[in-house]
Amino acid sequence: MGASLGPILVAIRGAARPASPFRRRPLALVWGARSQGGAGRSLGVPMPRLVTILNGPNLNLLGRRQPEIYGRETLADVERGCAALAEELGLRIRFLQSNHEGQLIDWIHEAREEAQAIVINPAALTHTSVAILDALHAFEGPVIEVHVSNVHRREGFRHHSYVSLRADGVIAGCGTQGYLLGLRRVATLLAA
């Protein structure tokens, strides 16, 4: 029953300030009954915006593989750091990793329905995957691309990124702090 609330609130907010390209669809979902858990339980109370944080192949080994390049922090450490910062920024996160391109694409499709922004480290798929680029093109909110290492100081094949053709921002070479910078950027873009 609360399903009609989203568009109404969007209209009100839309009248109050000029629309930002990143706010159009996300607001409807944030305020809609679907994201409130239904039953009108928290009608009128906005849910924190959801950021999907995606990690590609081999990042499950972060902290253990090539630590001289990627450092000693594990992906679990990164997730904890992101969760703490997200709370501070008034965001929610869904933090995911897969070694499979199709799984990452499915998660990007899910983000279309439930998330307001994506932070993605596509790992090696950065340099090869037109399919991930196409999936990201189908997502309407801000997309920030993150690389732990400075890919531009490495082998030539790492200098090209398909994902950068869609990303609103790219962070590389800042270590795992890049994820936190990505989240901060997303918070700024969603608030604009």
| Region near ligand DQA per CB under 6 A, out of 2-10, 35-43, 75-83, 142-150 | 142-150
- By C-alpha distance, which of 137, 161, 165 is closest to 150? 161
| Region near ligand DQA per CB under 6 A, out of 92-100, 117-125, 130-138, 163-171 | 117-125
Helix (H) or strand (E) holding 119: strand 117-121
| Region near ligand DQA per CB under 6 A, out of 11-19, 77-85, 147-155, 181-189 | 147-155
Work out which of 36, 98, 116, 149 binds ligand DQA, going by CB under 6 A.
149
Name residue 56's amino acid: G
Query: What sign for the dihedral angle of Cα 7, 90, 18, 171?
Result: negative
Pair 31, 6: CB distance under 8 Å: yes
Q: Does 151 bind ligand DQA (CB under 6 A)?
A: yes
Q: Does 23 bind ligand DQA (CB under 6 A)?
A: no
Pair 143, 121: CB distance under 8 Å: no
Q: Which two tokens stand for residue 25?
A: 């669809």
Q: Does 148 bind ligand DQA (CB under 6 A)?
A: yes
Nearer of residues 112 and 158 to ligand DQA, judged by Cβ: 158
Q: Does 36 bind ligand DQA (CB under 6 A)?
A: no
